[in-house]
Amino acid sequence: MDAFQNLAELFRTFPGIGPRQAERFVYHLITSPVELRTRLIETLKKLNEETAQCRSCLRYFPQNHNAELCAICANPNRDASLLLVVARDRDITVIEKSGSYDGYYFVLGGTIPILEKNPDDTVRVPALVKRAQNSPQLKEIIIAMNQTTEGENTTDHLLRTLKGLPAVESGTMHLSTLGRGIASGQEIEYSDGATLRSALKGRAQQ
């Protein structure tokens, strides 16, 4: 495969990009001044060097001081009794923007497809269980998945797994899901601040 095809294949792995659009990107790059390609190479290199995975919430974050925790997890003033589980890194950004949550987060890294035989290999369920077990101050785990079939499937699996935790069985830790407000089929990423605020406020204990 030549560099043109290789790059087009890479662009195709981006969300929402089909083969024609991927080729258009490559044509744009090869017909642009060489400075654009050089800048892109340098920027990607820098992005690689400055991106780290947070040891606690597992999201990726920009860092340049070898920090192990992202800004949210490193903030001691947040509410350690709350842990909100989201599917993807970008869900954190919209929830933070809504200004309605001040606890900590955990990023599952995706959702569980229907009929998936090994859900714990698909997303970070074992890491979530570990996080819950090693957080003595934790009182509530809020599961915030998209209101899609796959999101609901993921919520069901998480509830089943987490209900087995001794702290949940003894009632010292609660599980909840986002309340009404987020419509069926709606994704957290595209929800507005008011919707998220009311969904968090009206969360339902499971």
> Where does this chain bind Zn ion (CB under 5 A)?
54, 56-57, 70, 73
How is residue 87 annotated by DSSP? S
- HSE-CB for 181 with a 13 A CA cutoff: 20
- HSE-CB for 129 with a 13 A CA cutoff: 15
User: Of 26 and 72, which CB lies nearer to Zn ion in the complex structure?
Assistant: 72
The distance of closest approach from Cβ of residue 157 to Zn ion in the complex, given in angstroms and rounded to an integer, is 23
CB 141 within 8 A of CB 129: no
Written as six digits, the tokens of 1 are: 């495969």
User: Of 135 and 147, which CB lies nearer to Zn ion in the complex structure?
Assistant: 135
User: Of 53 and 122, which CB lies nearer to Zn ion in the complex structure?
Assistant: 53
Indicate the angle between helix axes 3-12 and 19-31, nearest 10 degrees: 130
The distance of closest approach from Cβ of residue 94 to Zn ion in the complex, given in angstroms and rounded to an integer, is 16
The distance of closest approach from Cβ of residue 58 to Zn ion in the complex, given in angstroms and rounded to an integer, is 7
Written as six digits, the tokens of 188 are: 């957290």
Contacts of residue 102, defined as CB under 8 A and 6 or more positions apart, other chains included, come to 78, 79, 82
The distance of closest approach from Cβ of residue 121 to Zn ion in the complex, given in angstroms and rounded to an integer, is 23
User: Of 138 and 182, which CB lies nearer to Zn ion in the complex structure?
Assistant: 138
Q: Determine the Cα–Cα distance for residues 204 and 52; give it in Å rounded to an integer.
A: 34
Q: How many residues does the chain have?
A: 206
What are the respective helix, strand and coil percentages of the chain, to the nearest 5?
45, 15, 40
The distance of closest approach from Cβ of residue 95 to Zn ion in the complex, given in angstroms and rounded to an integer, is 13
User: Of 58 and 143, which CB lies nearer to Zn ion in the complex structure?
Assistant: 58
The distance of closest approach from Cβ of residue 85 to Zn ion in the complex, given in angstroms and rounded to an integer, is 13
What amino acid occupies position 170? S
User: Of 56 and 147, which CB lies nearer to Zn ion in the complex structure?
Assistant: 56
